[in-house]
Amino acid sequence: MPPRSSPQAPATRLVVGPFNRVEGDLEVRLDVRDGAVAEARVVAPMYRGFENLLEGRDPHDALVIVPRICGICSVSQSVAAARALADAAGTVAPPNGRIATDLMLAAENLADHLTHFYLFFMPDFARQAYARQPWFAEARRRFEAGAGEQSRAAIAARQRWLQIVGTLGGKWPHTHGVMPGGSTRAIDGAERLRLLSLLREFRAFLERHTFAAPLDEVAALADESALFAWQAQAPERGDLRLFLAIAAAAGLDRLGRGPGRYLVHGNAGAPAGVWDETLDQGAGALLPLDLSGITEDISHAWMADDGVPPRHPSAGATRPDADKAGAYTWNKAPRLRGRACETGAIARRLAAGQPLVRAAVRRCGGTVYTRVLARLLELAEVLPQMERWLAELQPREPFCASDALPDGGQGVGLAEAARGALGHWLRIERGRIAGYQIIAPTSWNFSPRDAAGQPGPLEQALAGTPVGDGEKTPVAVQHVVRSFDPCMVCTVH
Amino acid sequence: MLNVLWLQSGGCGGCSMSLLCADTADFPGLLQAGGVRLLWHPSLSLESGHEIVDLLGACLAGRQRLDVLCVEGALLRGPNGTGRFHLLAGTGQPMTHWVARLAAVARHVVAVGACAAWGGVSAAGANATEACGLQYEDDRAGGLLGAAFRAAGGLPVVNVAGCPTHPGWVVDTLLALAAGVLRAEDLDTLARPRFYADQLVHHGCTRNEYYEFKASAEKPSDLGCMMEHMGCKGTQAHADCNTRLWNGQGSCTRGGYACISCTEPGFQDTGHPFHRTPKLAGIPIGLPTDMPKAWFVALASLSKSATPRRVKANATADHLVVAPATKKTRLG
């Protein structure tokens, strides 16, 4: 007797990749049923093994090696390593060193947000699939890959903007100026003025092109009705307003909803914590972050299974096994108390109490629309903060304290990269690195299933995404994937 | 137009991110005016998924002319020679296979960055991923394509080495290829373009007065010369970093950190901590290029004894504590 047929139509398997306009290589495996994604599996297809190649080296070598994990969030890797070393050594950076480091990190994060919006995310709306949309011609004029007027202007603005890191840290990416004791490049009074001019130049770009409005006006939008009223006043002006029109027409607020739990390591503008959508009763729901609750599950990663339950990163290990049965990615699955978390600009803006992002998340959760909106609002909010930090620099006062590392010890370095929570866990023995474990933002966001079968945030976000007839690389899937601004080279490292 | 296909493998993508910092008001316009057309680039092109796989197939089948294959990132041959540490997404095929086949049909092959040239940081330590460059493994010729490889245009793999590469090095290389003016004699003994590799990082270093008097930095953020104590290899590293600056006014040494010689093969495993100068009997092991040891020792002891007070005081401070004296510079 033949087996009973399933009540559901059989799923069609779609292997999508290589993805571009993400950092690094990415494959997504989809089971498609009834015109939508039924299940998604996210594959990080490349392994380099940075954690292992750090072992045995002088601890300071981490400051040269770890930025090379990632060419787009290089400074954030440096900052996490410097903080892990400072934690182990008990070093405290002088105020100038702390501020200079915060400035470099914020400059990188804002550059990444700009790059994501203009070069990675928006070009998909210039695809022929949208040729019949009333906004298509405008989207194409502004954002067409390699040709769009606004995208070209954004590359030029980014080039000028990253001169901030050129001055503060020598070069970008892979600056070596970030130290446990601060920064290696003291800034004098005249240079501080030149840096301020660079900040003002970038502000002018954002106020003219991205927002077509003063940054303060954008940051002060208190809720979505204020946002949409602001948009309606001048719908043709500025790239945020065009994005809002496209988002409404394409239903981006119903696309790619994540797990609803958000992780923030915290930075100068946002406190650390965990935000849970289901606990938000209007006043916010930022719970304390307990780092001891973090573990990495390797059940579906090409990592040798040693029969040990998921480990905390301070006791973690990375042992590749390309032949492991049931595994489908090089990425481990970080979990906080066993649960998948999303991290990134939404999480930071929620923690910082940004009213518009809180309102948008309350209405529609973490979606393609919310992720992009949160990044753009972060541009509007963080740039004025940087202007204030710069004013706090005290020329002729120290920028770097010396650090004396112990022969043995442990350290934890946390940072907020553009894409979210980044952590380095370091162990030193006999003056050498004895253990180094890294959990990057996209390790969280693009994690695979864990032993309990819980999918990672992107895997959850992709479920239900529409797939058109004959689509081999579904455009809605691309929107969802790119809305996270994934960094695959950080993910596996 | 010069058709350029750009692929990434065992690296960080930083050379592409650096490229976007090219000193121009219109990056796409710069390439276009220089006769360069990006067939596909991971950060800049629309095409995704099956569209890319189709393009790679068209190049291999000769339906699409491939003038330049740019590879960024090391080639990961492991585990056990299978190449499975990087299977190109959507294809199930090792990236090493794709690169080897495409290199065979490309008119020129360019290694963008230290990883694609020699293996770089991806090959550090025990090199568990069996990472190598396109035509070198550290300073040993070979790599993925083999020492005898010559692209259809006659050149070996052009090694635009650096970690990351300077955007100007990549732009100049592509524009020279587009103009048909990059010849074998324009490459140095490690196949790096001589327009940047015939310089030393030392040239144009703002710390040169400290170097002259051996007034040395002792800790991070000090203004002095970083060769004696802080691990600086600027007097040996081939690159024009201090005459063609980075991100506006920058370079590693101007940023207060030693040159780690990231344009040189094997820089990732120096045998000593990056931030400390290895010495023998108090003398740095790595002496300035082309300088006999005895001369260096004699000159160093003489110049140390002649160091002006200003230079000595500023060398161990993070800002100028003694300004140069004002004096007449005209005769009479």
pLDDT digits (tens, 9 = 90+) for B30-67: 999 999 999 999 999 999 999 999 999 999 999 999 99
Q: Measured on CA atoms in the order B277, A184, A54, A25, is the torsion positive or negative? A: negative
Name the residue facing A61 among B122, B274, B319 (closest C-beta): B274
Chain B neighbors of A398, CB-CB under 8 A: 221, 318
Mutate: best of B16, B19, B21, partner A, most A CBs <10 A: B21
A172 touching B (Cβ < 8 Å)? yes
Q: How far is B184 from chain A (nearest CA, A)?
A: 30
Q: Which of residues 100-129 of A touch B (CB under 8 A)?
A: 115, 119-120, 123-124, 126-127
A234 CB neighbour count, 10 Å cutoff: 11
Q: Rounded CA gap, A148 and A155, in Å?
A: 11
**Checking DSSP bridges between strand B68-72 and strand B108-112, what pairing results, if any?**
parallel
Q: How far is B268 from chain A (nearest CA, A)?
A: 8
Residue B96: alpha-carbon gap to chain centroid: 22
Which residues are CB-neighbours of A274 under 8 A, at least 6 positions away? A261, A262, A263, A264, A286, A287, A288, A289, A336, A341
The mean pLDDT of chain A is 96
Portion of chain A with pLDDT greater than 70, in percent: 98
What is the pTM assigned to this prediction? 0.97
Q: What is the pLDDT of residue A281?
A: 63
Q: pLDDT tens, A168-215? A: 999 999 999 999 999 999 999 999 999 999 999 999 999 999 999 999
Q: Is pLDDT above 80 for A282?
A: no
Q: Rounded CA gap, B122 and A452, in Å?
A: 33
Q: pLDDT tens, B284-327? A: 999 999 999 999 999 999 999 999 999 999 999 999 999 999 99
Query: Crossing angle for the helix pair A95-115 and A368-392, nearest 10 degrees?
Result: 150
Chain B neighbors of A17, CB-CB under 8 A: 49, 88-91
Q: What is the pLDDT of residue A284?
A: 64
List the one residue out of B85, B9, B87, B10 whose CA is nearest residue A320: B85
Q: pLDDT tens, B176-220? A: 999 999 999 999 999 999 999 999 999 999 999 999 999 999 999
Q: What is the pLDDT of residue B143?
A: 98
The DSSP code sequence of B244-286 is S-BTTTB-TTTTT-----TTSTTTT--SS-TTS--EETTEESS
Q: With 0-12 CB in 10 A as exposed, 13-18 as middle and 19+ as buried, what is B148?
A: exposed
Q: Is pLDDT above 70 for A5?
A: no
Q: Rounded CA gap, B82 and A163, in Å?
A: 42
Lowest mean pLDDT among A2-6, A227-231, B328-332: A2-6
Q: What is the pLDDT of residue A280?
A: 72
Residue B78: alpha-carbon gap to chain centroid: 24
Q: What is the pLDDT of residue A177?
A: 96
Q: What is the pLDDT of residue B243?
A: 98
* Record: fold of B199-318: Cytochrome-c3 Hydrogenase; Chain A, domain 2 (4.10.480)
Average of per-residue pLDDT across B253-265: 98
Q: How far is A1 from chain B (nearest CA, A)?
A: 37
Whether A171 and B49 lie within 8 Å, measured CB to CB: no
Whether A17 and B258 lie within 8 Å, measured CB to CB: no
Whether B129 and A49 lie within 8 Å, measured CB to CB: yes
Whether A46 and B91 lie within 8 Å, measured CB to CB: no
Q: Is pLDDT above 70 for A425?
A: yes
Q: Reduce the DSSP state of residue A198 to 3 states and report it.
A: helix
Q: Which chain A residue shows the shortest CA-CA distance from B120?
A: A68
Q: Are A434 and A427 in contact (CB under 8 A)?
A: yes
CA dihedral in degrees (A438, B265, B96, A480; nearest 10)? 40
Q: Rounded CA gap, B199 and B187, in Å?
A: 13
Whether A167 and B51 lie within 8 Å, measured CB to CB: no
Q: Where are the domains of chain B?
A: 2-195, 199-318
Q: Rounded CA gap, B268 and B251, in Å?
A: 19
B282 CB neighbour count, 10 Å cutoff: 7
Helix (H) or strand (E) holding A345: helix A345-352
Q: What is the pLDDT of residue A7?
A: 59
The mean pLDDT of chain B is 97
Note the helical H segments in A116-188: 136-143, 149-161, 163-169
Whether B43 and A20 lie within 8 Å, measured CB to CB: yes
Q: Is pLDDT above 60 for A3?
A: no
CATH number of B2-195: 3.40.50.700
Q: What is the pLDDT of residue A1?
A: 44
Q: Is pLDDT above 60 for B262?
A: yes
Residues in chain A, total = 493
Q: What is the pLDDT of residue A2?
A: 47
Whether A183 and B221 lie within 8 Å, measured CB to CB: yes
Note the helical H segments in B34-123: 50-61, 95-105, 114-118
Average of per-residue pLDDT across A22-26: 94
Q: Rounded CA gap, A18 and A16, in Å?
A: 7
A181 touching B (Cβ < 8 Å)? yes
What chain A holds in terms of domains, given with CATH numbers, is 12-492 (1.10.645.10)
Chain A neighbors of B249, CB-CB under 8 A: 163, 166-167
State the first-to-last Cα distance of chain A, in angstroms, to the nearest integer.
51
Q: Are A328 and A39 in contact (CB under 8 A)?
A: no
Q: Supply the ipTM of this predicted assembly.
A: 0.98
Q: What is the pLDDT of residue A279?
A: 83
Whether B8 and A49 lie within 8 Å, measured CB to CB: no
Q: pLDDT tens, B134-153? A: 999 999 999 999 999 999 99
Helix (H) or strand (E) holding B8: strand B2-8
Whether A21 and B131 lie within 8 Å, measured CB to CB: no
Q: Are B82 and B94 in contact (CB under 8 A)?
A: yes
Structure tokens at B165: 């590469």
Q: Rounded CA gap, A61 and A64, in Å?
A: 5
Q: Are B10 and B129 in contact (CB under 8 A)?
A: yes
Q: How far is A25 from chain B (nearest CA, A)?
A: 7
Q: Which chain A residue shows the shortest CA-CA distance from B15?
A: A71
